[in-house]
Amino acid sequence: MYSDAHLVVMRTARPGGIMIAGEIDISNTAAVAASLRDEFDGGTDPHLDLSRVSFVDVSGIRALVGLALQMAPNQRLLVHGLAAELETVLKVTGWADLPGLELCSCAGEA
Amino acid sequence: MTDPSPSAVNRFRHEALFYSGSAEFVNGTVPFVREGVASGEPVLVVESPEKIKTLRAALERDADQVFFADMSEVGANPARIIPAWCDFVNRHWVPGKSLRGIGEPIWSSRGADELVECQRHESLLNVAFGRGRPWSLLCPYDTATLRPEVIDEARRSHEFIVEGGSARRSENFRGIDASAAAFSAPLASAPPPLDEVTFEKGDLRRVRELVRKRAVAAGLDESRAYTLAVATNEVATNSILHGGGSGTLRIWQDVDRVICEVRDRGVFDLPLVDREAPGPDPSSPRGLWLANQLCDLVQIRTFHEATVVRLHMRLDPRANLSLVTDVESTEATMILPP
């Protein structure tokens, strides 16, 4: 779906969703956000596997939050495998409690 | 403009209490707390555990009506104190009622860098609250142990002072506008850095790797080294997006800490941006707020045509216990019986 020197975005079959591997910062946030937007177009709760993401900056988290804010009222973005330090970032930036975003603690098995 | 009494508060009242010894501390603070309790005002005391113990004993049953929080936790990084007061005021303010706080951010064993940031914090309190809701904040200063120049600065950062038992306006108060002016206090001289690199868009990955590697080599554990890289990345991102497109990163080690310095050609003109809790609006700025929540100390300076940000991370992780400060841990330490 998208790749650069430090990042790959790909579809996963079970469960249906997207896996990202690599590092997200301002050099590729816009591209990542665009590829995610195209993919999640309503329907079931989308899964996003970040267990192979070694870094997300605030711009990347902002993109995920933007995606979560676009979810339908009964839909949630299920995020798997976010590193503990990055979960802290999500909390202290005030974004941990969005209704459209759920952090799953299933060791990134998406 | 002549009323020196804290009981007639119709706007923010920022007052320094100069005391020497425990008896003067108690005499200067207990009536202030009792008056608040008697008028049904919410009262929060942010002090050292020892002083909280002293106050609880002196207040007797009135202590049950007071919130207490540990300044060594809340104010480990002094830039986290204003958010704590904001939280207190926003939670407990009701129309027509005032609130009271006691906060002692400066003590004699504060390091030199921390002291300057605490003094900046005292000034910024005027900016954060000076034109907002009415409440009264009393800031004790221990004249027996603090240097005279620290007391002098308190006269400039507080509109009122209590000295020898009587309250009056401080003739030296710098005012709200000057409190908000760009901060250019000199930074401590730095040793030759372990690394000095310039960066621009596309170099952030290299910046993060360098910070992590150096921080681990200096003795930070992996998690805190990673966290320092996260914070440095955000500050460097600001340089790229808002600071002229590039910047210079320098890393060095001090006795008890690793310091990352980012220098760029940006203009830093939002004095509270690093201590205003971001709301859910995705577009609001978060980088410097995040740095303050993650690092033990953040120093921001505006010099002639340059902005400098220094991020400090202590080698001793116990100094960063209040990492996820805000709501959760502040609540845990603020106990108000029903």
Instruction: Identify the CATH number of the domain defined by range A2-104.
Output: 3.30.750.24
Confidence of residue B174 (pLDDT cuts 50, 70, 90): very high
Please enumerate residues of A whose Cβ is less than 8 A from a Cβ of B.
6, 23, 25-27, 55, 57-59, 62, 65-66, 69, 84-86, 88-89, 91-95, 98
A20 membership: H or E segment, kind and range:
strand A17-24
User: Shortest CA distance to B278 belongs to which of B131, B86, B103?
Assistant: B86
C-alpha count within 13 angstroms, C-beta hemisphere, residue B96? 1
**B331: pLDDT strictly greater than 70:** no
Is B232 at the interface with chain A, CB within 8 A? no
A27, A53, A92, A97: best to mutate for the B interface, most B CBs within 10 A: A92
Looking at residue A42, what is its pLDDT? 64
Fold of B13-180: Rossmann fold (3.40.50)
What b-and-e string marks burial along B209-219, b requiring 16 or more CB atoms within 10 Å of the CB? ebbbebbbebe
Confidence of residue B241 (pLDDT cuts 50, 70, 90): very high
B77, B86, B211, B290: best to mutate for the A interface, most A CBs within 10 A: B290
Q: Which residue of A has its CA nearest to B230?
A: A57
A24-38, A44-58, B2-16, B197-211: the lowest-pLDDT one = B2-16
Looking at residue B334, what is its pLDDT? 47
CB contact under 8 A, B204 and A26: yes
**B142: pLDDT strictly greater than 70:** yes
Q: Can you name the residues that pair with B251 across neighbouring β-strands? A: B195, B260
**B303: pLDDT strictly greater than 50:** yes
| Separation of alpha carbons B260 and B229, rounded Å | 9
Contacts of B321 (CB under 8 A, 6+ apart): B73, B76
Which three-class secondary structure state does DSSP give residue A32? helix
Contacts of B120 (CB under 8 A, 6+ apart): B78, B183, B185
Q: Can you name the residues that pair with B151 across neighbouring β-strands? A: none
Residue type, B237: T
CB B333 within 8 Å of CB B68: yes
pLDDT per residue as tens digits for the range B30-84: 999 999 999 999 999 999 999 999 999 999 999 999 999 999 999 999 999 999 9
The domains spanning B13-180 and B195-320 adopt the same CATH topology: no
Write down the ipTM of this complex.
0.91
**B96: pLDDT strictly greater than 60:** yes
Looking at residue B9, what is its pLDDT? 65
Which three-class secondary structure state does DSSP give residue A75? coil
Label each residue of chain B as H, E or C: CCCCCCCCCCCCEEEEEEECCHHHHHHHHHHHHHHHHHCCCCEEEEECHHHHHHHHHHHHHHHHHEEEEEHHHHCCCHHHHHHHHHHHHHHHCCCCCCCEEEECCCCCCCCHHHHHHHHHHHHHHHHHHCCCCCCEEEEEEECCCCCHHHHHHHHHHCCEEEECCEEEECCCCCHHHHHHCCCCCCCCCCCCCCEEEEEECCCHHHHHHHHHHHHHHHCCCHHHHHHHHHHHHHHHHHHHHHCCCEEEEEEEECCCEEEEEEEECCCCCCCCCCCCCCCCCCCCCCHHHHHHHHCCEEEEEEECCEEEEEEEEECCHHHHCCCCHHHHHHHHHCCCCC
CA dihedral B234, B237, B243, B246 (to 10 degrees): 130
Q: Where are the domains of chain A?
A: 2-104
Q: Where are the domains of chain B?
A: 13-180, 195-320
pLDDT per residue as tens digits for the range B262-301: 999 998 889 999 999 987 777 778 899 999 999 999 999 9
Is B72 at the interface with chain A, CB within 8 A? no
| Separation of alpha carbons B136 and A61, rounded Å | 38
Residue type, B297: L
B233, B281, B321: best to mutate for the A interface, most A CBs within 10 A: B233
The C-alpha of A18 sits at a distance from chain B's nearest C-alpha, in angstroms, of: 22
Looking at residue B5, what is its pLDDT? 53
List, as own/partner pairs, every contact residues B172-179 make where C-beta atoms lie below 8 angstroms and the sequence separation is at least 24, other chains included. Answer: B174/B123, B175/B126, B176/B126, B176/B127, B176/B130, B176/B131, B179/B123, B179/B124, B179/B126, B179/B127, B179/B130
Residue-level pLDDT, tens digit, chain A, 110 residues: 899 989 999 998 767 789 999 999 999 999 999 988 877 766 788 899 999 999 999 999 999 988 888 888 888 899 999 999 899 988 888 887 888 889 987 654 44
**B99: pLDDT strictly greater than 80:** yes
Least CB–CB distance from B280: residue in A25, A89, A98: A98
- Can you tell me the mean pLDDT for B136-165? 97
Collect all residues of chain B within an 8 Å Cβ-Cβ radius of residue A65: 282
CB contact under 8 A, B240 and A62: no
**CATH class in words for B195-320:** alpha beta
Collect all residues of chain A within an 8 Å Cβ-Cβ radius of residue B234: 57-58
